[in-house]
Amino acid sequence: MNDGKKINRIDSIFKDYVDNKFDYLRMIMKMSNEEIIKDLMDSGLKGRGGAGFPTGNKWKLAAEQPSGEKFVVCNADEGEPGTFKDKEILLKVPHKVLTGMTACSKVTGAKRGYIYLRWEYKFMKDDLQKSVDEFNEVLKEMKIDFKIYIFLGAGAYVCGEESALFDSMEGMRGEPRNKPPFPTVSGFMGKPTVINNVETFATSTMILSFGGENYAKLGTDVSHGSKLFSISGDTSIPGIYELELGMTLHEFVEKFGDGDTKAVSVGGVSGALVPRKKFKDTIIGWEGVPTGGAMILFNSTRSIYRILHNYLDFFEEESCGQCTPCRIGCQQLKKGIEAVKKGEEDPSYLDTLANLSKVMNVSAKCGLGQSVMNPVLSAVNNFREELIY
Amino acid sequence: MKKIINLTIDDQKIAVDEGTTILEAARKSGIKIPTLCYHEDLCIAGNCRICVVEQENMRSLPAACATPVSEGMVINTNSTKVRNARKFLVELLLSEHNADCTACVKNRHCELQTLAEQNHIREHTFIDLKDDKNYTIDKLSPAIIIDYSKCIRCQRCVRTCEEIQAISALSAAYKGKDMKITTFFEKPINTVVCSTCGQCVAHCPTGALTEHFYIDEVWDAINDPDKHVVVQTAPSVRVALGEEFGLKPGTIVTGKMVAALRRLGFDEVEDTDFTADLTVIEEGNELLRRLKAKLADKDESVKLPMVTTCSPAWVKYCEHAFSDLLGHLSTCKSPMSMFGALSKTYYAEKFKLDPAKIVSVAIMPCIAKKFESNRPEMRASGYKDTDYVLTTRELAIMIKQAGIDFNTLKDSSFDSLMGVASGAGLIFGNSGGVMEAALRCAYMIVVGKDIPFEDLSITPLHGSEGEIVEMSVKFTGTKPEWSFLEGVTVNVAHANMLSNAYKIMEEIKNGTSKYHFVEIMSCPGGCIGGAGQPLPTNKAKRTARKEAIYSGEKLIEIRKSQDNPEIVNIYDDYLGKPLEEKAHKLLHVPGFTPRKRY
């Protein structure tokens, strides 16, 4: 059936393996740019925000851009419902993130780095600023021409989308841009920019200290390494866990479920809502269901209709509203499931809605509108009765 | 040399320059990809997604307008996947849209309606969302009406206002289901920084943005036996009106237009070109007076450059954005408002009519003229100088309402008194025309000879759309009273689109402007690209109209405003001297109105 791995807890992110927190930085700055890129490539690290672009590749693409002004941006707009790992990283091990950003600046030649901190995390801004100031001081002492700044967002989910994030930083309304050009060519202020998730930068630091090949020993051929999972919902042990990639959802539920798990939202509201019957066949990773880390467990007391309705409520409000499929599609999906539930539309209207979500998936301008399909299709295909009766 | 990219679209092999979009490449090969938020005048938004196409080996459907071609790309513009997506997208837009098409001014001219037809939409797949939206209509402006129930949020108006006019009176607000296009703090459009240029109207694909119609009021006036209705027509209307009746852009229909106006029942059909000539005389003299005061009398209170004020949207923009530089504006009224004032004074006196019973109507290529006619400054006659302003499009509607077969009309000519014009008056329709006309006039006054250009055509000023065109004129052999100008080089410039006006005004503000005289028109290409002209607007049409104006001018024997016999008469009989007495009272504004910047 599957060759999923057993649950295996790892502790690379939150544990320090050096005496002094700046030792990572000192060690990495001794590496050559080629060594850094090679380690990241060897590690097989893919972006931990959810989209999964190979990190080494991204840094290399930006490095290959003609010299001139470049930027490193850390995406700390952790807005996906059900994910809360980046907050913990920034609270507990900010130096790993800052070190990762500095490694990226070394490779790309960027002189400025920004942390785009979501508005809801402003409670930690002062503490984070202290860490950043301290780090900047060390950079100065080490004569490293790189400085990190914090930029506070204004609370829009869509600004977690990289190009909308740049718009927001540039003082504009946060709306995703047309791609190409991609950020490595034209990002913040139209300059080559590497934008990575908080966890990606922290993981990069650890990869560079362990060695890429060692890191790649963890996980599967497609999903290398370990990653943080934000676990919530119907579980007695919610929280943040670092797990080796490659386990099946069945393994996962055995460990974290309450014995009555009916479905798991893998990847938060924009991920698939995997039903119990598929737990054994579903590997958590790029070969199965990828995730940015949010794992929301639901037991049989939960109504899939109400879960989906809640998700769609979220999407219709958090869409930026610029593109047709996302703005109107989300409204139609929500209205549509309401109408079927009330009997105002025939149950077959669910198929129209499923088709609509597929059209949104291929035609929406950014990942937000494209991923609305995931929970909709899972619900329509696996929990049809719950949506009708 | 640009790199050549080879790709395949619908089985056709195509080679185009690197950087070309899929949409452009397809159009070059005669493949039509439908669009909605795309407009050739504007930057790419890629938000309606109507132009999605299928790309081989790609999961999602890229938007053709926003995606550059790449080597070896294989595109299908008409696959089942594409057709299904496109149909759903149009249906989604319709579910948010007030599709009461027969009662819509854009009926049969609406781009959304066309897409619905082309995509064979015959049912309502989705649930009607309109009831939840609390759509409103903003009717308070005399110029622009916004019907939010028809807005499809393509942001063409937003891009127009930002890119062409550098104003951003309209922008996107809120997000998700509540996202809408609106004004600053959702105030009525007549209370915000809007210049009323109406380019948003000209670029709106649906009936969300329209001009404020005055057709019914004009019919009432025509049908009122007590009223004497006099109508004037702007220079650029005659080169565009024909488009509404299926004629090629740039067809000159002056005679048929006059005949149609008579058939509609207007009592007198006169020509705005006449008052354009009058504007030339007044403005030319004002410029010379300012030059004399500044250069000869060293009067530092006199502001140079002097900037034209024919374009009402420009004047309002300047009042908002550069309220401390209003001294640079010429005090001359626009040709339309000069005509309005004269229609209830000079004209009334000559024909022994009670001015209270005269209704003065103006047919304009412009939406801002509706605002101008309602300005309190425009009541020099003691009445509202211009009662109603109709756009070229409104005139076409009236002609269709009256059942007139426009194309078979026999040519008719303007009535006299204010119906004769020189070529200088006609070229007001083009950006740079006022400048050219004024230079011809001023040169003759100062030197006593024609300005040395073949056929009096000052071609360096003809420029192209969206450019700031500069020119220098050196005066030699001046008449004794103008000797202070001997050997002086006068720098002039003209520009269209307020984004260019902004650049010129910033220079004036910083004290780095080298100009003595500047002409500004708000709309692309000048009045021929006015927001009241037949739709859709595009560069090819505007160019055809522009050429029609210049070629039309060649057919007019009188080329300088001061040679127009009716102009000579009006000064002799009525106005006196330029800038003085009656001319000052009727043809110049008492002042401008500083306005807020938001």
Rounded mean pLDDT, B148-163: 97
Is residue A1 one of the residues assigned to a domain? no
B282 is catalytic: no
Place of tokens 């999602």: B60
* pLDDT of amino acid B464: 82
Q: How far is B66 from chain A (nearest CA, A)?
A: 6
Q: Is B527 noted as a catalytic residue in this protein? A: yes
What's the gap in Å between the CA of A223 and the closest CA on chain B? 21
The rounded distance, in Å, linking the Cα atoms of B543 and B549 is 10
* A315, A192: one domain: no
B497: Cβ–Cβ under 8 A, 6 or more apart, which residues? B164, B165, B466, B521, B522, B523, B524
3-state secondary structure of B388: strand
Domain shared by A210 and A96, yes or no: yes
Active site (annotated) includes residue B162: no
Contact A183, A70 (CB under 8 A): no
User: In this structure, what DSSP letter does residue B491 have?
Assistant: E
Our answer to whether residue B310 is catalytic in this structure is yes
Rounded distance between C-alpha atoms, residue B234 and residue B254, angstroms: 11
Please tell me which of the candidates B44, B59, B85 has its beta carbon nearest to residue A178: B44
B465 is catalytic: no
Q: What is the DSSP letter of B2?
A: P
* Residue A131 belongs to a domain: yes
Domain end, chosen from A194, A215, A236, is at A215
Residues A186 and A334 in one domain: no
Asked if residue A297 belongs to a domain, the reply is no
Domain that holds residue A100: 23-215
pLDDT tens-digit series, residues B390-435: 999 999 999 999 999 999 999 999 999 999 999 999 999 999 999 9
Tens digits of per-residue pLDDT, A247-285? 999 999 999 999 999 999 999 999 999 999 999 999 999
Same structural domain for residues A346 and A207? no
CB B329 within 8 A of CB B592: yes
Say if the Cβ atoms of A362 and B178 lie within 8 Å: no
The interface residues of chain A toward chain B in range 138-157, judged by CB-CB distance below 8 A, are: 156
Domain end position, chosen among A183, A199, A215: A215
- Residues from chain B that touch A321, judged by Cβ atoms under 8 A, are 153, 172, 174-179
Q: Are A61 and A184 in a shared domain?
A: yes
pLDDT level of residue B518 (50, 70, 90 thresholds): very high
CATH number at residue A147: 3.40.50.11540
Closest Cα to residue B117, out of B98, B104, B99?
B99
Span A355-373, pLDDT tens digits: 999 999 999 999 999 999 9
Burial class (CB in 10 A: 0-12, 13-18, 19+), B213: middle
Angle at alpha carbon of residue B35, lines to B76 and B392, rounded to 5°: 150
Facing residue for B179 by CB, picked from A327, A329, A362: A327
Interchain contact A364–B (C-beta under 8 A): yes
Q: Does A365 map to a domain?
A: yes
Domain assignment of residue A314, yes or no: yes
Q: Which of residues 139-178 of B touch A (CB under 8 A)?
A: 152-153, 155, 171-172, 174-178
Q: Domains of chain B, with CATH numbers?
A: 4-78 (3.10.20.740), 106-211 (3.30.70.20), 284-332+422-536+550-557 (3.40.950.10)
Task: Write out pLDDT tens, residues B554-585.
Answer: 999 999 999 999 999 999 999 999 999 899 99
Q: Answer positive or negative: Cα dihedral of B29, B30, B31, B34.
A: positive
B566-593 burial by CB neighbour count: b if 16+ within 10 A, else e?
bbeebbeebbeebbeebbbebbbbeebe
Q: Quick count: other Cβ atoms within 10 Å of Cβ B17?
A: 13
Q: Do A336 and B48 touch (CB under 8 A)?
A: no
Cα–Cα–Cα angle for A125, A128, A129, rounded to 5 degrees: 80
Same domain, A197 and A326: no
Q: Considering its fold, how many domains does chain A have in total?
A: 2
B351: number of Cβ within 10 Å = 13
In chain A, which residue's Cα lies nearest the Cα of B21? A180
Asked if the C-beta of A38 comes within 8 angstroms of chain B's C-beta atoms, the answer is: no
CA–CA distance, B14 with B72 (Å, rounded to integer) = 10
Q: What is the DSSP track for B104-165?
A: STTTTT-HHHHHHHHTT--S--S---GGGS---EE--SSSEEEEGGG-----HHHHIIIIIS
Q: CB-based contact (8 Å) between B20 and chain A?
A: no
Which candidate from B44, B88, B172 shows the least CB-CB separation from A356?
A: B88
Q: Please report the pLDDT score of residue B52 as a whole number.
A: 98
Q: Which residues of A touch B93 (CB under 8 A)?
A: 324, 328
The residue of chain A with its CA nearest to that of B83 is A359
**pLDDT value of residue A3:** 61
The answer as to whether A198 is a domain residue is: yes
**Candidate list B217, B377, B467, B566, residue with the active-site label:** B377
Provide the β-strand partners of residue B14. B7
Q: Which of A270, A227, A223 is nearest to A86 (CA)?
A: A227
User: Which range is least confidently modeled, A46-50, A173-177, B269-273?
Assistant: A46-50
Helix (H) / strand (E) element for B496: namely strand B489-496
Q: Are residues A329 and A204 in the same domain?
A: no
HEC profile for chain A? CCCCECCCECCCCCCCCCCCCCHHHHHHHCCCHHHHHHHHHHHCCECCCCCCCEHHHHHHHHHHCCCCCCEEEEEECCCCCCCCHHHHHHHHCHHHHHHHHHHHHHHHCCCEEEEEECHHHHHHHHHHHHHHHHHHHHHHHCCCCCEEEEEECCCCHHHHCHHHHHHHHCCCCCCCCCCCCCCCCCCHHHCCEEEEEHHHHHHHHHHHHHCHHHHHCCECCCCECEEEEEEEECCCCCEEEEEECCEEHHHHHHHHCCCCEEEEEECHHHCEEEEHHHCCCCEECCCCECCCCEEEEEECCCCHHHHHHHHHHHHHHHCCCCCHHHHHHHHHHHHHHHHHHHCCCCCCHHHHHHHHHHHHHHHCCCHHHHHCHHHHHHHHHHCHHHHHC
Can you say whether the dihedral through the CA atoms of A4, A8, A12, A13 is positive or negative? Answer: positive
Note whether A154 and A32 are same-domain residues: yes
Residues A210 and A311 in one domain: no
pLDDT one-digit tens code per residue, B115-151: 999 999 999 999 999 998 999 999 999 999 999 999 9
Residue pair B176/A157 in contact by the 8 Å Cβ criterion = no
Instruction: Give the residue from chain B lying closest to A340, CA to CA.
Output: B127
Output the domain CATH number for residue A331.
Answer: 1.20.1440.230
Rounded mean pLDDT of chain A?
A: 96
Chain B from 32 to 61: CB within 8 A of any A CB: 44-50, 52, 59-61
pLDDT in tens, B429-471: 999 999 999 999 999 999 999 999 988 999 999 988 899 999 9
Q: Please state, in angstroms and rounded to a whole number, the distance separating the CA atoms of residues B390 and B142.
A: 11
Task: Give the pLDDT mean for A21-44.
Answer: 96
Is A104 in the same domain as A211? yes
Q: Is residue A282 part of a domain?
A: no
Nearest to B269 by CA among B117, B395, B103, B95: B395
Looking at the structure, tell me whether residues A31 and A169 fall in a common domain: yes
CB-closest option in A325, A328, A363 to B96: A328
How many beta-carbon contacts under 8 Å exist across A and B? 113
Q: State whether B67 and A178 contact (CB < 8 Å).
A: yes
In a domain, A121, yes or no: yes
Q: Is the pLDDT of residue B303 over 70?
A: yes
Task: Decide if B29 is catalytic.
Answer: no
What chain A residue is nearest to B133 in terms of C-alpha separation? Answer: A331
A1 falls in which pLDDT band (50, 70, 90)? very low
Residue at a domain's end among A190, A215, A240: A215
